[in-house]
Structure 1
Amino acid sequence: MDFAAYAQRAVDLVNTPIESADDVRTYLGHRTWVADLVRDDDVTVLQGFRAGLEEMADASAATDGAAVVATLNGLLAKHPIRPMISGHDESSWHLHIQDDSASASETICAETLFGLAMLVSEHGATRIGRCAATDCDNAFIDTSANRSRRFCSTRCSTRMNVAALRRRQQAAKEVR
Protein backbone atom coordinates (compact mmCIF):
# COMPACT_ATOMS: atom_id res chain seq x y z
CA MET A 1 0.00 0.00 0.00
CA ASP A 2 1.42 3.36 -1.04
CA PHE A 3 0.35 5.87 1.62
CA ALA A 4 2.11 8.74 -0.16
CA ALA A 5 0.07 8.06 -3.30
CA TYR A 6 -3.13 8.20 -1.24
CA ALA A 7 -2.10 11.57 0.22
CA GLN A 8 -1.24 12.78 -3.29
CA ARG A 9 -4.73 11.77 -4.43
CA ALA A 10 -6.13 14.10 -1.76
CA VAL A 11 -4.07 17.00 -3.10
CA ASP A 12 -5.06 16.09 -6.65
CA LEU A 13 -8.71 16.22 -5.58
CA VAL A 14 -8.19 19.70 -4.09
CA ASN A 15 -6.76 20.76 -7.47
CA THR A 16 -9.61 19.19 -9.51
CA PRO A 17 -12.96 20.93 -9.87
CA ILE A 18 -15.79 18.42 -9.44
CA GLU A 19 -18.99 19.45 -11.21
CA SER A 20 -20.15 16.19 -12.79
CA ALA A 21 -19.73 12.42 -12.77
CA ASP A 22 -17.42 12.85 -15.77
CA ASP A 23 -15.18 15.13 -13.67
CA VAL A 24 -14.96 12.37 -11.06
CA ARG A 25 -14.06 9.83 -13.75
CA THR A 26 -11.41 12.21 -15.13
CA TYR A 27 -9.98 12.62 -11.62
CA LEU A 28 -9.82 8.83 -11.26
CA GLY A 29 -7.90 8.50 -14.52
CA HIS A 30 -6.72 4.95 -15.19
CA ARG A 31 -8.38 3.59 -12.03
CA THR A 32 -11.27 2.14 -14.01
CA TRP A 33 -12.35 -0.26 -11.25
CA VAL A 34 -13.40 2.80 -9.20
CA ALA A 35 -14.47 4.94 -12.18
CA ASP A 36 -16.95 2.24 -13.19
CA LEU A 37 -18.70 2.73 -9.82
CA VAL A 38 -19.24 6.51 -10.20
CA ARG A 39 -22.86 7.63 -9.89
CA ASP A 40 -24.39 11.11 -9.92
CA ASP A 41 -24.86 11.12 -6.12
CA ASP A 42 -21.08 10.69 -5.71
CA VAL A 43 -20.64 14.19 -7.16
CA THR A 44 -22.46 15.89 -4.28
CA VAL A 45 -20.58 13.86 -1.68
CA LEU A 46 -17.23 14.65 -3.30
CA GLN A 47 -18.01 18.36 -3.65
CA GLY A 48 -18.57 18.62 0.10
CA PHE A 49 -15.58 16.42 0.83
CA ARG A 50 -13.38 18.48 -1.50
CA ALA A 51 -14.42 21.66 0.33
CA GLY A 52 -13.20 20.10 3.59
CA LEU A 53 -9.92 19.11 1.94
CA GLU A 54 -9.48 22.68 0.67
CA GLU A 55 -10.06 24.01 4.18
CA MET A 56 -7.44 21.60 5.48
CA ALA A 57 -4.95 22.53 2.72
CA ASP A 58 -5.42 26.24 3.45
CA ALA A 59 -4.86 25.66 7.18
CA SER A 60 -1.72 23.66 6.42
CA ALA A 61 -0.39 26.35 4.07
CA ALA A 62 -1.01 28.87 6.87
CA THR A 63 0.96 26.55 9.23
CA ASP A 64 -2.06 26.07 11.50
CA GLY A 65 -1.47 22.46 12.48
CA ALA A 66 -4.26 22.42 15.06
CA ALA A 67 -6.81 23.44 12.41
CA VAL A 68 -5.44 20.81 10.02
CA VAL A 69 -5.86 18.06 12.59
CA ALA A 70 -9.33 19.29 13.63
CA THR A 71 -10.50 19.39 10.01
CA LEU A 72 -8.96 16.01 9.24
CA ASN A 73 -10.53 14.44 12.33
CA GLY A 74 -13.90 15.91 11.32
CA LEU A 75 -13.58 14.42 7.85
CA LEU A 76 -12.54 11.06 9.30
CA ALA A 77 -15.64 11.08 11.54
CA LYS A 78 -17.92 11.98 8.63
CA HIS A 79 -16.31 9.51 6.18
CA PRO A 80 -15.30 6.41 8.17
CA ILE A 81 -12.64 4.10 6.81
CA ARG A 82 -13.48 0.39 6.72
CA PRO A 83 -10.20 -1.44 6.09
CA MET A 84 -10.22 -5.05 4.97
CA ILE A 85 -7.48 -7.58 4.34
CA SER A 86 -7.61 -9.04 0.88
CA GLY A 87 -5.52 -11.48 -1.14
CA HIS A 88 -5.50 -14.04 -3.85
CA ASP A 89 -3.43 -16.67 -2.05
CA GLU A 90 -1.52 -17.14 1.21
CA SER A 91 1.39 -14.98 0.03
CA SER A 92 -0.50 -11.94 -1.25
CA TRP A 93 -2.38 -10.57 1.76
CA HIS A 94 -2.70 -6.79 1.64
CA LEU A 95 -4.85 -4.04 3.07
CA HIS A 96 -7.73 -2.43 1.22
CA ILE A 97 -9.03 0.81 2.64
CA GLN A 98 -12.70 0.16 1.80
CA ASP A 99 -14.74 -2.98 1.49
CA ASP A 100 -16.10 -4.27 -1.80
CA SER A 101 -19.54 -2.73 -1.22
CA ALA A 102 -18.17 0.86 -1.06
CA SER A 103 -19.34 3.47 -3.54
CA ALA A 104 -16.87 5.46 -5.63
CA SER A 105 -17.11 8.45 -3.29
CA GLU A 106 -16.64 6.26 -0.20
CA THR A 107 -13.54 4.71 -1.77
CA ILE A 108 -12.09 8.08 -2.77
CA CYS A 109 -12.77 9.59 0.66
CA ALA A 110 -11.31 6.60 2.50
CA GLU A 111 -8.13 6.46 0.42
CA THR A 112 -7.42 10.16 0.61
CA LEU A 113 -8.17 10.40 4.33
CA PHE A 114 -5.99 7.41 5.12
CA GLY A 115 -3.14 8.92 3.11
CA LEU A 116 -3.55 12.29 4.82
CA ALA A 117 -3.69 10.69 8.27
CA MET A 118 -0.43 8.89 7.52
CA LEU A 119 1.14 12.08 6.13
CA VAL A 120 0.23 14.07 9.25
CA SER A 121 1.37 11.24 11.54
CA GLU A 122 4.70 10.75 9.78
CA HIS A 123 5.64 14.26 8.61
CA GLY A 124 3.53 16.73 10.60
CA ALA A 125 0.31 18.63 10.07
CA THR A 126 1.67 21.46 7.93
CA ARG A 127 3.11 19.62 4.95
CA ILE A 128 0.50 20.73 2.42
CA GLY A 129 1.22 24.04 0.75
CA ARG A 130 -0.25 26.29 -1.89
CA CYS A 131 1.70 27.20 -5.02
CA ALA A 132 3.51 30.54 -4.81
CA ALA A 133 3.38 31.06 -8.59
CA THR A 134 1.38 33.92 -10.03
CA ASP A 135 -2.03 32.70 -11.27
CA CYS A 136 -1.74 29.32 -9.53
CA ASP A 137 -3.06 28.23 -6.17
CA ASN A 138 -2.72 24.47 -6.56
CA ALA A 139 -2.05 22.49 -3.43
CA PHE A 140 1.03 20.28 -3.10
CA ILE A 141 2.68 18.01 -0.56
CA ASP A 142 6.05 19.13 0.79
CA THR A 143 8.07 16.33 2.34
CA SER A 144 11.41 18.11 1.90
CA ALA A 145 13.65 18.03 4.95
CA ASN A 146 13.51 21.79 5.47
CA ARG A 147 9.94 22.39 4.26
CA SER A 148 11.20 24.63 1.50
CA ARG A 149 8.94 23.68 -1.39
CA ARG A 150 7.10 26.71 -2.79
CA PHE A 151 5.63 25.55 -6.10
CA CYS A 152 3.21 22.81 -7.14
CA SER A 153 5.28 21.77 -10.14
CA THR A 154 8.52 22.25 -12.00
CA ARG A 155 6.55 24.18 -14.59
CA CYS A 156 5.39 26.80 -12.08
CA SER A 157 8.84 27.01 -10.50
CA THR A 158 10.53 27.49 -13.88
CA ARG A 159 7.95 30.05 -14.99
CA MET A 160 8.51 32.15 -11.86
CA ASN A 161 12.31 31.79 -11.98
CA VAL A 162 12.42 32.85 -15.64
CA ALA A 163 10.18 35.83 -14.90
CA ALA A 164 12.46 36.87 -12.01
CA LEU A 165 15.54 36.52 -14.23
CA ARG A 166 13.94 38.67 -16.93
CA ARG A 167 13.06 41.33 -14.35
CA ARG A 168 16.67 41.38 -13.11
CA GLN A 169 18.01 41.57 -16.65
CA GLN A 170 15.65 44.43 -17.49
CA ALA A 171 16.60 46.28 -14.30
CA ALA A 172 20.30 45.85 -15.16
CA LYS A 173 19.72 47.29 -18.65
CA GLU A 174 17.91 50.29 -17.19
CA VAL A 175 20.83 51.01 -14.83
CA ARG A 176 23.33 51.17 -17.72
Structure 2
Amino acid sequence: MDIAAYAQTAVDLVNARLGSDDDLRAYLAPRSWLTERVRAGDLAEIQEFRARLGEMADASAAGDGPAAVASLNELLVKHPIRPVISGHDESSWHLHVHDKTGSVVETVCAEACFGLAMLVAEHGPTRIGRCAATDCDNAFIDTSVNRSRRFCSTRCSTRMNVAALRRRKQAAKLAAGQTD
Protein backbone atom coordinates (compact mmCIF):
# COMPACT_ATOMS: atom_id res chain seq x y z
CA MET A 1 0.00 0.00 0.00
CA ASP A 2 1.34 3.40 -1.00
CA ILE A 3 -0.25 5.87 1.42
CA ALA A 4 1.18 8.90 -0.40
CA ALA A 5 -0.36 7.61 -3.63
CA TYR A 6 -3.77 7.40 -1.96
CA ALA A 7 -3.48 11.01 -0.76
CA GLN A 8 -2.42 12.02 -4.25
CA THR A 9 -5.46 10.16 -5.60
CA ALA A 10 -7.65 12.48 -3.53
CA VAL A 11 -5.90 15.59 -4.82
CA ASP A 12 -6.02 14.30 -8.40
CA LEU A 13 -9.75 13.75 -7.99
CA VAL A 14 -10.22 17.33 -6.75
CA ASN A 15 -8.38 18.53 -9.86
CA ALA A 16 -10.11 16.18 -12.32
CA ARG A 17 -12.56 17.51 -14.87
CA LEU A 18 -15.34 14.93 -14.80
CA GLY A 19 -18.23 16.00 -16.99
CA SER A 20 -19.14 12.66 -18.54
CA ASP A 21 -18.84 8.92 -18.07
CA ASP A 22 -16.04 8.99 -20.65
CA ASP A 23 -14.18 11.55 -18.49
CA LEU A 24 -14.58 9.23 -15.50
CA ARG A 25 -13.26 6.28 -17.50
CA ALA A 26 -10.30 8.38 -18.69
CA TYR A 27 -9.58 9.38 -15.07
CA LEU A 28 -9.66 5.71 -14.07
CA ALA A 29 -7.75 4.50 -17.16
CA PRO A 30 -4.51 3.69 -15.30
CA ARG A 31 -6.55 1.15 -13.33
CA SER A 32 -8.35 -0.78 -16.05
CA TRP A 33 -9.96 -3.13 -13.54
CA LEU A 34 -11.91 -0.12 -12.18
CA THR A 35 -12.68 1.32 -15.60
CA GLU A 36 -14.42 -1.88 -16.58
CA ARG A 37 -16.74 -1.62 -13.56
CA VAL A 38 -18.11 1.91 -14.14
CA ARG A 39 -21.91 1.87 -13.84
CA ALA A 40 -24.65 4.36 -14.59
CA GLY A 41 -24.85 6.76 -11.67
CA ASP A 42 -21.19 6.46 -10.65
CA LEU A 43 -20.34 9.81 -12.25
CA ALA A 44 -22.91 11.74 -10.20
CA GLU A 45 -21.74 10.13 -6.95
CA ILE A 46 -18.07 10.79 -7.76
CA GLN A 47 -18.88 14.40 -8.67
CA GLU A 48 -20.62 14.90 -5.31
CA PHE A 49 -17.69 13.32 -3.47
CA ARG A 50 -15.26 15.44 -5.52
CA ALA A 51 -17.11 18.60 -4.50
CA ARG A 52 -16.88 17.63 -0.81
CA LEU A 53 -13.16 16.87 -1.22
CA GLY A 54 -12.79 20.33 -2.73
CA GLU A 55 -14.36 21.85 0.38
CA MET A 56 -11.89 19.96 2.55
CA ALA A 57 -9.01 21.13 0.32
CA ASP A 58 -10.21 24.74 0.51
CA ALA A 59 -10.35 24.61 4.31
CA SER A 60 -6.86 23.12 4.41
CA ALA A 61 -5.50 25.72 1.96
CA ALA A 62 -7.04 28.49 4.05
CA GLY A 63 -5.21 27.17 7.12
CA ASP A 64 -8.44 26.17 8.86
CA GLY A 65 -7.34 22.85 10.32
CA PRO A 66 -10.46 22.24 12.42
CA ALA A 67 -12.75 22.77 9.41
CA ALA A 68 -10.57 20.53 7.23
CA VAL A 69 -10.67 17.76 9.84
CA ALA A 70 -14.43 18.13 10.36
CA SER A 71 -14.98 17.91 6.60
CA LEU A 72 -12.74 14.87 6.30
CA ASN A 73 -14.42 13.16 9.26
CA GLU A 74 -17.81 13.65 7.59
CA LEU A 75 -16.43 12.02 4.44
CA LEU A 76 -15.00 9.12 6.46
CA VAL A 77 -18.41 8.48 8.02
CA LYS A 78 -20.22 8.67 4.68
CA HIS A 79 -17.58 6.60 2.82
CA PRO A 80 -16.27 3.95 5.22
CA ILE A 81 -13.01 2.19 4.62
CA ARG A 82 -13.16 -1.61 4.67
CA PRO A 83 -9.53 -2.73 4.68
CA VAL A 84 -8.57 -6.19 3.50
CA ILE A 85 -5.23 -7.94 3.23
CA SER A 86 -4.44 -9.17 -0.24
CA GLY A 87 -1.56 -11.04 -1.76
CA HIS A 88 -0.52 -12.69 -4.96
CA ASP A 89 1.97 -15.03 -3.33
CA GLU A 90 3.30 -15.64 0.18
CA SER A 91 5.71 -12.68 0.01
CA SER A 92 3.52 -9.91 -1.38
CA TRP A 93 0.92 -9.33 1.32
CA HIS A 94 -0.43 -5.80 1.26
CA LEU A 95 -3.43 -3.81 2.38
CA HIS A 96 -6.30 -2.62 0.20
CA VAL A 97 -8.74 -0.06 1.54
CA HIS A 98 -11.77 -1.79 0.08
CA ASP A 99 -12.67 -5.35 -0.81
CA LYS A 100 -13.14 -6.59 -4.37
CA THR A 101 -16.91 -6.37 -4.13
CA GLY A 102 -16.80 -2.60 -3.71
CA SER A 103 -18.19 -0.44 -6.45
CA VAL A 104 -16.07 2.10 -8.33
CA VAL A 105 -17.49 4.82 -6.08
CA GLU A 106 -16.80 2.88 -2.87
CA THR A 107 -13.25 2.08 -3.95
CA VAL A 108 -12.30 5.58 -5.15
CA CYS A 109 -13.86 7.25 -2.11
CA ALA A 110 -12.22 4.83 0.34
CA GLU A 111 -8.80 5.37 -1.25
CA ALA A 112 -9.14 9.14 -1.15
CA CYS A 113 -10.45 9.25 2.42
CA PHE A 114 -7.79 6.88 3.68
CA GLY A 115 -5.00 8.80 1.95
CA LEU A 116 -6.17 12.13 3.35
CA ALA A 117 -6.69 10.69 6.82
CA MET A 118 -3.11 9.39 6.85
CA LEU A 119 -1.81 12.70 5.43
CA VAL A 120 -3.60 14.66 8.18
CA ALA A 121 -2.44 12.25 10.89
CA GLU A 122 1.18 12.40 9.72
CA HIS A 123 1.60 15.99 8.52
CA GLY A 124 -1.36 17.95 9.90
CA PRO A 125 -4.66 19.16 8.43
CA THR A 126 -3.32 22.16 6.51
CA ARG A 127 -1.02 20.43 4.03
CA ILE A 128 -3.28 20.75 1.01
CA GLY A 129 -2.87 23.97 -0.89
CA ARG A 130 -4.37 25.66 -3.93
CA CYS A 131 -2.17 26.80 -6.78
CA ALA A 132 -1.17 30.48 -6.63
CA ALA A 133 -0.80 30.73 -10.41
CA THR A 134 -3.14 32.95 -12.35
CA ASP A 135 -5.93 30.94 -13.97
CA CYS A 136 -5.18 27.79 -11.96
CA ASP A 137 -6.87 26.59 -8.80
CA ASN A 138 -5.56 23.03 -8.71
CA ALA A 139 -5.03 21.47 -5.32
CA PHE A 140 -1.67 20.01 -4.28
CA ILE A 141 -0.08 18.31 -1.29
CA ASP A 142 2.61 20.33 0.48
CA THR A 143 4.90 18.21 2.61
CA SER A 144 7.76 20.71 2.51
CA VAL A 145 9.37 21.34 5.88
CA ASN A 146 8.35 25.00 6.02
CA ARG A 147 5.05 24.69 4.13
CA SER A 148 6.37 26.89 1.35
CA ARG A 149 4.91 25.26 -1.73
CA ARG A 150 2.76 27.69 -3.73
CA PHE A 151 2.16 26.02 -7.06
CA CYS A 152 0.61 22.75 -8.19
CA SER A 153 3.31 22.06 -10.77
CA THR A 154 6.63 23.19 -12.16
CA ARG A 155 4.74 24.46 -15.20
CA CYS A 156 2.62 26.87 -13.14
CA SER A 157 5.64 27.97 -11.09
CA THR A 158 7.71 28.65 -14.20
CA ARG A 159 4.86 30.49 -15.92
CA MET A 160 4.40 32.80 -12.93
CA ASN A 161 8.13 33.35 -12.44
CA VAL A 162 8.61 34.25 -16.13
CA ALA A 163 5.65 36.66 -15.96
CA ALA A 164 7.12 38.30 -12.84
CA LEU A 165 10.53 38.63 -14.52
CA ARG A 166 8.93 40.28 -17.57
CA ARG A 167 7.06 42.73 -15.34
CA ARG A 168 10.26 43.63 -13.51
CA LYS A 169 12.13 44.15 -16.78
CA GLN A 170 9.32 46.31 -18.15
CA ALA A 171 9.19 48.33 -14.94
CA ALA A 172 12.97 48.83 -15.07
CA LYS A 173 12.72 50.03 -18.69
CA LEU A 174 9.97 52.46 -17.79
CA ALA A 175 11.94 53.73 -14.81
CA ALA A 176 14.96 54.29 -17.07
CA GLY A 177 12.80 56.18 -19.57
CA GLN A 178 13.10 53.55 -22.28
CA THR A 179 10.23 52.58 -24.50
CA ASP A 180 9.91 49.89 -27.13
Matches within 5 A, 1:1-176: 1-176=1-176
| Between 96-105 and 18-27, the greater mean CA deviation after superposition | 18-27
Q: How far, CA to CA, are the matches of 1:139 and 1:89 in structure 2?
A: 37
**C-alpha displacement of 1:58:** 0.4
Q: Is the 1:20–1:40 Cα contact (8 Å) retained in structure 2?
A: no
- In 2: Cα distance, 1:20 partner to 1:83 partner: 29
Q: How many residues align?
A: 176
Question: What amino acid sits opposite 1:97 in the alignment?
Answer: V
The percentage of counterpart residues that share the same residue type is 72
TM-score by length of 2: 0.95
Q: Deviations over 1:10-38 (max 9, x none)?
A: 11111112222211111113110111111
Range with bigger deviation, 60-69 or 21-30: 21-30
Distance 1:70 1:97 in 2: 21
Aligned partner of residue 152 in structure 2, secondary structure: coil
2 CA distance for matches of 1:11 and 1:3?
A: 13
The higher radius of gyration belongs to 2
**What is the CA distance between 1:164 and its match in structure 2?**
0.4
Q: Distance in 1 between matches of 2:6 and 2:154?
A: 21
Please list the CA deviations of residues 36-95 of structure 1 after superposition, one character each: whole Å capped at 9, or x if unmatched.
111121111101101110000000010000001000000000011111011123222111
Distance 2:15 2:158 in 1: 20
> Larger deviation: 59-68 or 27-36?
27-36
Describe the superposition over 1:111-143 as per-residue Cα deviations: whole angstroms up to 9, x where unpaired: 111100000000000000000000110100000
Q: Write the distance in 2 (CA, Å) between the matches of 1:137 and 1:29.
A: 24
Cα distance between partner residues in 1 of 2:49 and 2:130: 18
Question: For 2:138 and 2:11, how far apart are their aligned partners in 1?
Answer: 8
Gaps of 5+ in 1: none
